[in-house]
Amino acid sequence: MEPFYTTDVLVIGGGLAGERAAIEAAASGHKATILSLVPPRRSHSCAAQGGMQASLGNCVKASGDNANWHFLDTVRGSDWGADQEVARMFAEEARVAVREMAYWGVPWTRATPGKNSYFIKGERVEIDEPEDKAGMIMHRDFGGTAKWRACYASAGTGHSVLYAVDAEVSRLGIEVRDRMEALSLIYDGDRCWGAVARCLRTGELTVFAAKATIIATGGYGRIYGKYTTNATINEGTGAMLALNTGKVPLGNMEAIQFHPTGLWPSGILITEGCRGDGGYLVDKDNHRFVAELEPEKQELASRDVVSRHMMQRIKDGKGADSKFGPHIWLDLRHLGEQHLKTKLREIWEICRDFAGIDPVKEMIPVRPFQHYSMGGVRVNKDGQAYNMRGLFAAGEAACWDMHGFNRLGGNSLAETVVAGRIVGQRVAQFVDGETLDVSTALTDAFKKEQEARIADWMSRKAEGPSVYDIRDAMGEIMIDKVGIFRTASELEEAVVGIKDLLEQVKTAGLHNSKPGVNPELTFALRLEAMLKLALITAKGALERQESRGAHSRVDFPQRDDKNWLKRTLARWPVGASEPVLSYEPVGMLDLPPGERGYGHATRIPLEQSVEDYNASVAEAQKAAGKQDTVEPMGSQIQWGAWEQADTKAASS
């Protein structure tokens, strides 16, 4: 491997967001290079199951759907934590991005005209699908949406989409360096010039010098140890790259999504599409408690709401017993064998292979697990990081921020391809005006820093605490004290506990000091940063004295728009022992703060007028480090267009 490599656009991450952005840059005539921990087709995107949201309106239950509805659902779902301009850009572009996937070969499940049988709110319903939609991309119902909007390929949507996008990457001849981990960004003041990466096969370091760098490394779910649906590679290394600059803030790290239905006890995801297609949640008495508590949306209220109801049920002693602890049941039996083995095929296989269960005949044990990272590298609407020119982020790694405090199911896969398109275009424009003006003295300095870090770990004996024990202790703290229900005292304990683990890292040792294929060393190099992300998550949750979306404070149960209609920004100054938290407005408000239509209904209202709030946004965000965007702030908002959608959340 050459020690020095140059490219126009360095994309760190070979999942959907990274590959889609690389395609955009390459299609504009730039040299794009992708780094990935694994071959791109094994990226976490491949595991996505149930679908991706785009308001195509191709079946009766989706009729009348459009970008206004999608915008409304997304902002409501976020509990008003989202940047509404980004939510609008997303809702408009999702329809194009999803159709583009059909052109690239995704085998979408298609609409079948004539009588179709569905389960809706517990009842079997027959609906005549019209002839004029025959063969169009079909939709299924997902949580928190007014219309059926999730486009899907059985229950293997991520697999199908990632393979199609990766084929396009190959067709364009984009260079992919897999098993190559970016360890550090290279930057000169506030200008990023690429990254130093370590080959996971040989241990060698390479400088990847680039005019623009995109972080597309996915989420940081693994700070919750084994209590997550995320792949083992989702360790937040992208957030770490940004955080270690000391300048680039991470946004809303305390906004952690728990998915209601992880297979118990392994945590493998059982898609929301199961409930979308009519699955029920029942307690140990076979009682459909969620349907009772949420009469309108039933099992398809948003994920934060359903997860809370499930955990409360378990706390109330109504969970079903198992040798691993109590859980809730997911019942799909009424959907029938034909449905389960076609439209939910991958779920049927997961139950068979990982739990020895046949969901045609048996109920599935489930419990909420950490699932999605709403927080990430804070970027503007062009995807450019705060305080760092030439650094961009997209996908789950970014806080762009269309999800606020709760992401709707199906909105993440759609985000990867929408943000990939938009950010990729902006990166291409950025690169047009740049030359690669970086000195080898600078790149050498960053490389030497990583060499020293690796040498330090390799010199340590196995006498100190094990890196894996520290990881497991972090996971236990996070699930116990920074979980679905949060209180000040538990969050304070979490902060103390994580700080203690950070101390332990200083004396941790390795059993294997080989430089090449060495998973222990590879993990050790990530551990300190994972703990920093965990600490930022716990501190952000402690400071935020309200309940919003997935952030549920038992001691502050109301959403507080008067004091907390803002985004947390966290930086870790170089050499500091603590993160620095600050806040900025969420963005300009088009849809005024209101009720979501499900979940808790009380809130402390915004005291300012929406106009006054909006007038303060640009200056406050600039002061927080936001870079100028190609188009001015607010230019993508379609003011008041959401009024053209019926403001009631009920399905039509």
Ligand X SMILES: Cc1cc2nc3c(=O)[nH]c(=O)nc-3n(C[C@H](O)[C@H](O)[C@H](O)COP(=O)(O)OP(=O)(O)OC[C@H]3O[C@@H](n4cnc5c(N)ncnc54)[C@H](O)[C@@H]3O)c2cc1C
CB of residue 376 to ligand X, shortest distance in Å: 9
Catalytic residue (one of 70, 139, 149, 259): 259
Identity of the residue, 9 or 606, whose beta carbon is nearer to ligand X in the bound complex = 9
Identity of the residue, 257 or 614, whose beta carbon is nearer to ligand X in the bound complex = 257
Catalytic residue (one of 95, 149, 275, 421): 275
For helices 488-505 and 519-543, give the axis angle rounded to 10 degrees. Answer: 150
Burial of 505 (0-12, 13-18, 19+ CB in 10 A): middle
- Can you say whether the dihedral through the CA atoms of 66, 72, 78, 81 is positive or negative? positive
Instruction: Output the CA–CA distances (angstroms, integers) from residue 487 to 257, 370, 491, in the order listed.
Output: 17, 18, 6
Residues 6+ apart with CB under 8 A from 256: 224, 370, 372, 373, 374, 375, 482, 537, 550, 551
Among 209, 248, 250, 269, binds ligand X (CB under 6 A): 269
CB of 264 closer than 8 Å to CB of 321 = no
Query: Which DSSP string do the residues of 60-83 spell out, in sequence order?
Result: GGGTT--HHHHHHHHHHHTTT-S-
Count residues binding ligand X (CB under 6 A): 46
CB of 405 closer than 8 Å to CB of 78 = yes
Q: What is the DSSP letter of 223?
A: G
Identity of the residue, 467 or 588, whose beta carbon is nearer to ligand X in the bound complex = 467
Identity of the residue, 528 or 560, whose beta carbon is nearer to ligand X in the bound complex = 528
The residue range among 101-109, 226-234, 529-537, 626-634 that interacts with ligand X, by the rule CB under 6 A, is 226-234
Identity of the residue, 47 or 290, whose beta carbon is nearer to ligand X in the bound complex = 47
> Measured between alpha carbons, how far is 228 from 221 in angstroms, rounded to an integer?
6
246: helix, strand or coil: coil
What character string, x for contact with ligand X (CB under 6 A) and - otherwise, covers 49-88? xxxx------------------------------------
For helices 16-27 and 157-171, give the axis angle rounded to 10 degrees. Answer: 30
Query: Is 460 a known active-site residue?
Result: no
Query: Is 275 a known active-site residue?
Result: yes
What character string, x for contact with ligand X (CB under 6 A) and - otherwise, covers 342-371? -----------------------------x
Interface with ligand X in residues 388-417 (CB under 6 A): 395-397, 410-413, 416
Interface with ligand X in residues 10-49 (CB under 6 A): 12-18, 35-38, 40, 43-45, 47-49
Identity of the residue, 363 or 408, whose beta carbon is nearer to ligand X in the bound complex = 408
Interface with ligand X in residues 120-179 (CB under 6 A): 157-158
Among 27, 233, 357, 604, binds ligand X (CB under 6 A): 233
Among 98, 165, 182, 379, binds ligand X (CB under 6 A): 182
> Measured between alpha carbons, how far is 97 from 275 in angstroms, rounded to an integer?
25
Among 145, 213, 230, 387, binds ligand X (CB under 6 A): 230
* Segments of 437-586 assigned E as strands: 485-486, 552-553, 559-560, 566-571, 580-585
Per CB under 6 A, 238 contacts ligand X:
yes
What character string, x for contact with ligand X (CB under 6 A) and - otherwise, covers 575-614? ----------------------------------------
CB of residue 39 to ligand X, shortest distance in Å: 9
> Measured between alpha carbons, how far is 615 from 627 in angstroms, rounded to an integer?
18
Residue 398 β-bridge partners: 377
Q: Which residues bind ligand X (CB under 6 A)?
A: 12-18, 35-38, 40, 43-45, 47-52, 157-158, 181-182, 216-218, 229-230, 233-234, 237-238, 269, 271, 371-372, 395-397, 410-413, 416
Annotated catalytic residues are 259, 275
